[in-house]
């Protein structure tokens, strides 16, 4: 029986890259997305064919507690949880509707609580586990026009540090990756002038690649369990 991992938001971008790295390492996968079922099924088929692992794909709104509970009814074993599902909102806070705020918080922060609540008992059975939360440098630095996103990722950072202390006696590590500007579909809303201005702020003079984030996530998963409670930035030298 192989090792089992759950990756949320895995239909594209960072989540897809992380799923690929886990499959390459021999993990059986449970992958989720909220809207992109066709893309997710393509990822499932590709990874099963390439690596011979078991991969189950589920459409699931990770910000809906009932949906997450139903997802976990089909999961009996879990060694690794990667919380990657996320959405952004770009605009003035004064023009943001409460429903839009709540969507960001549900998807980016509440989902992390829901999955961890469900995953912890599975990991406690074996007194071992790895939880990696995908965060953002904006959770620490804050980003103008992205107040809700920044607040949600700041919450993820604090959640990570606190839960790590709670689970350390049980040999379950909890860490986060704070991404800088990664070249994904989420950032394609910016025009070329805006993208150029973003690049000017990055000492590495480029956006990061999803594969680079995935490599870091794998290093964290494979790190000694004594490394826990860390929020590790991958941002091309961007000063947080």
- Please list the active-site residues: 149
Q: Which two tokens stand for residue 185?
A: 């579909």
Which residues lie below 8 Å from residue 159, measured CB to CB, with a gap of 6+?
Answer: 109, 112, 113, 133
CB 177 within 8 A of CB 84: no
Q: What's the chain's length in residues?
A: 240
Paired strand residues for 29 = 5, 55
- Judged by DSSP in three states, 49 sits in helix
Q: Which of 193, 206, 194, 215 is nearest to 235 (CA)?
A: 206
Q: How far apart are CA 34 and CA 63, in angstroms?
A: 9
State the burial class of residue 48 (Cβ atoms within 10 Å of its Cβ: 0-12, 13-18, 19+): middle
């Amino acid at each position: 029986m192989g090792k089992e991992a759950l990756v949320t938001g895995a239909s594209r971008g960072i989540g897809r890259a992380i799923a690929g790295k886990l499959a390459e390492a021999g993990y059986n996968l449970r992958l989720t997305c909220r809207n992109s079922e066709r893309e997710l099924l393509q990822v499932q088929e590709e990874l099963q064919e390439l690596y011979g692992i078991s991969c189950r794909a589920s459409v699931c709104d990770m910000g809906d507690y009932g949906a997450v509970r139903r997802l976990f009814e089909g999961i009996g074993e879990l060694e690794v949880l990667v919380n990657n599902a996320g959405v952004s909102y770009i605009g003035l806070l004064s023009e943001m509707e409460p429903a839009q705020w709540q969507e960001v918080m549900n998807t980016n922060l509440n989902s992390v609580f829901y999955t961890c609540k469900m995953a912890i008992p599975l990991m406690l059975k074996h007194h071992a586990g790895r939880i990696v939360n995908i965060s953002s440098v904006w959770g620490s630095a804050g980003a103008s026009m992205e107040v809700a996103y920044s607040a949600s990722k700041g919450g993820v950072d604090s959640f990570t540090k606190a839960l790590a202390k709670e689970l350390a006696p049980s040999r379950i590590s909890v860490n986060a990756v704070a991404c800088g500007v990664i070249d994904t579909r989420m950032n394609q809303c910016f025009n070329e002038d805006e993208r150029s201005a973003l690049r000017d702020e990055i000492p590495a003079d480029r956006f990061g690649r999803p594969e680079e984030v995935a490599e870091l996530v794998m290093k964290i998963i494979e790190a000694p369990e004594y490394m826990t409670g860390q929020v590790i930035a991958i941002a091309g030298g961007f000063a947080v």
